[in-house]
């Protein structure tokens, strides 16, 4: 028997062993290439649908502007003249404690005027004057409700569909269902203009989905990503990565169901590609002075959030599927009126700049822009407003959504919903629908059952679709 044909301990000859190993590497590489082209669902559960839309999408990307802490619907997009007239009166709404912190107390009207804006005449608070210029692009949802008035659980439900940890975020579901257009950038990017939201990374985790669908956090400031400059020349670094990949692939052959290892291999490759693509994508100095002014980057008050909004536009422009921006902290238990003045001042120009810039570039038609927090604020209070998940407002623009309209209605005091109730599951179903996904068909089998973003409910809100 020749040296090359001597059996290994596994019973195969050396020639057979290396042939099988080579075929394994070839198969893994082929699977990865097919998956990137949307022709194979690599590394996912057997029940996973192919990464392509269920129907013709109206939107290619989504930007979620998340106002952490819960903005007051009564002071922003849902005017209540009766509440103003009855300001200071004692009132008892009753109600369940888990959906509001204050069902009784002194009625607190908003001090802000709500001028009618745009051709549509939508009433928008006077403390968002620049955003009001975009009124005809906004669809204001005035009848949102969710299941909890606790910050952490409510943030999780708004982002993952469930008020408890361990579930994939909406951005993760989106990239899982559709993939993304630019293999040199992450499909799901998270931007923060300050402290992380309640629950931290649990709001953008991939949960039980394959780990490659986690959101990638970009830091605030001029350097959103660290280590973008290679430590060595490109050829040397490429050789190092190829050796590391070979070793990792060899380990993966012995543990083919290890999605964390698959994600780690993919992350090394993405990190290498990021060093060539990301510096250009995050370099805002390439933008004109006029564009930077449009986003409020020359004003200390608006610069931070304006930078994130401009970066969000650049990312979706380059094929990133889902971008989420967090802004804090709208938890106005005290000094509600002045705090809303300050917070609205910080986001007004940047958000309006984002909408105007997307529209000017022809991107708003294919980009969903969503604004809101985890819940609203109570109609009763003593200087401040408390948590209120029973009824609150959000808005959506672009991506095939009707503009210049409102949907749903709260009662005359802004406490409960009286028309066209919208649960967070309905919002999620609608956003997925506009991106070409049937929320009931995008599932993943975990712990013996099929899970989805909308759990066992939700419907796309057909009334607001263009």
- What is the Cα Rg of the chain in Å? 25
Length of the chain: 466
**pTM as predicted:** 0.84
End-to-end CA distance of the chain: 75
The pLDDT-based confidence of 97 (bands split at 50, 70, 90) is: low
252 or 281: which leads in pLDDT: 281
The pLDDT-based confidence of 93 (bands split at 50, 70, 90) is: very high
Residue 265: per-residue pLDDT = 63
Closest CA to 68 of 399, 463, 375: 375
The SS3 of residue 136 is: helix
Helix, strand, coil percentages in the chain from 3-state DSSP, rounded to 5:
40, 15, 45
How much of the chain exceeds pLDDT 90, in percent? Answer: 71
Average pLDDT, the chain: 86
Tell me the angle at which helices 234-254 and 14-36 cross, rounded to the nearest 10 degrees: 110
With b for 16 or more beta-carbon neighbours within 10 A and e for fewer, the 252-290 pattern comes to beeeeeebebbbebbbeebebebbebbeebbebeebeee
Summarize the confidence of residues 131-146 as an average pLDDT.
Answer: 98
The pLDDT-based confidence of 42 (bands split at 50, 70, 90) is: very low
Q: What is the tens place of the pLDDT at every residue in 118-127?
A: 999 999 999 9
Q: What is the tens place of the pLDDT at every residue in 216-235?
A: 999 877 677 755 566 555 56
Q: What is the tens place of the pLDDT at every residue in 230-254?
A: 655 556 666 666 666 677 777 767 7
Closest CA to 206 of 169, 175, 156: 169
The answer to whether 425 touches 412, Cβ cutoff 8 Å, is no
The pLDDT-based confidence of 139 (bands split at 50, 70, 90) is: very high
Exposed/middle/buried for residue 32 (C-beta within 10 Å: 0-12, 13-18, 19+) = middle
Report CA dihedral (174, 178, 182, 187) to the nearest 10 degrees.
20
The pLDDT-based confidence of 29 (bands split at 50, 70, 90) is: very low
Exposed/middle/buried for residue 465 (C-beta within 10 Å: 0-12, 13-18, 19+) = middle
Closest CA to 118 of 286, 307, 352, 321: 352
257 or 440: which leads in pLDDT: 440
DSSP β-ladder status, 104-106 and 116-117: unpaired
Summarize the confidence of residues 170-187 as an average pLDDT.
Answer: 93
Residue 50: per-residue pLDDT = 47
Residue 37: per-residue pLDDT = 38
Q: What is the tens place of the pLDDT at every residue in 148-163?
A: 999 999 999 999 999 9
Residue 225: per-residue pLDDT = 72
The pLDDT-based confidence of 69 (bands split at 50, 70, 90) is: very high
Angle at 272 (CA atoms; ends 271, 273), nearest 5 degrees: 90
The SS3 of residue 333 is: coil
């Amino acid at each position: 028997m020749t040296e090359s044909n001597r059996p290994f301990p596994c019973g195969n000859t050396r020639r057979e062993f290396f042939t099988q190993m080579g075929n394994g590497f070839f198969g893994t590489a082929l699977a990865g290439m097919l998956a990137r082209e949307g022709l194979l669902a690599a590394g996912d559960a057997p029940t996973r649908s192919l990464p392509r839309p269920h129907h013709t999408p109206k939107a290619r990307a989504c930007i979620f502007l998340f106002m952490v802490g819960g903005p007051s619907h009564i002071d922003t997009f849902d005017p209540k003249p009766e509440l103003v007239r009855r300001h200071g009166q004692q009132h008892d709404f009753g109600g369940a404690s888990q959906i509001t912190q204050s069902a009784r107390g002194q009625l607190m009207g908003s001090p802000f005027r709500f001028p009618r804006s745009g051709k549509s005449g939508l009433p928008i608070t006077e403390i968002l004057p620049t955003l009001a210029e975009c009124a005809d692009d906004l669809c204001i949802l005035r009848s949102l409700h969710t299941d909890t008035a606790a910050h952490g659980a409510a943030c999780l439900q708004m982002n993952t569909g469930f008020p408890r940890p361990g579930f994939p975020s909406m951005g993760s579901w989106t990239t899982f269902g559709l993939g993304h257009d630019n293999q040199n950038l992450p499909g799901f990017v998270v931007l923060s203009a300050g402290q992380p939201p309640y629950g931290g990374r649990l709001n953008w985790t991939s949960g039980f989905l394959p780990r490659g669908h986690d959101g990638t956090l970009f830091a605030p400031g001029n350097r959103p990503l660290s280590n973008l400059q290679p430590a060595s020349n490109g050829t040397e670094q490429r050789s190092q990565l190829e050796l590391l990949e070979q070793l990792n692939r060899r380990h993966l052959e012995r543990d083919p169901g290890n999605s964390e290892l698959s994600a780690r291999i993919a992350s090394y490759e993405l990190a290498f590609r990021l060093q060539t693509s990301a510096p250009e994508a995050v370099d805002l100095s390439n933008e004109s002075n006029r564009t930077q002014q449009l986003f409020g980057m020359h004003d200390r008050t608006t610069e931070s959030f304006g930078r994130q909004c401009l970066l969000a536009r650049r990312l979706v422009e380059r094929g990133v599927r889902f971008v989420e921006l967090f802004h804090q902290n709208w938890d106005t238990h005290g000094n509600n009126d002045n705090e809303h003045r300050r917070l609205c001042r910080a986001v007004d120009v940047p958000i309006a700049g984002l909408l105007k810039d997307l529209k000017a570039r022809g991107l708003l038609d294919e980009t969903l822009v969503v604004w809101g927090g985890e819940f609203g604020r109570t109609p009763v209070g003593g200087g401040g407003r408390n948590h209120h998940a029973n009824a609150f407002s959000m808005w959506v623009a672009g991506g095939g959504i009707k503009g210049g309209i409102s949907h749903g209605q709260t009662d005359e005091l802004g406490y409960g919903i009286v028309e066209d109730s919208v649960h967070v599951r309905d919002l999620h179903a609608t956003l997925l629908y506009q991106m070409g996904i049937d929320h009931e068909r995008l599932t993943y089998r975990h712990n013996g059952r099929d899970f989805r973003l909308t759990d066992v409910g939700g419907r796309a809100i057909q009334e607001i679709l263009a």
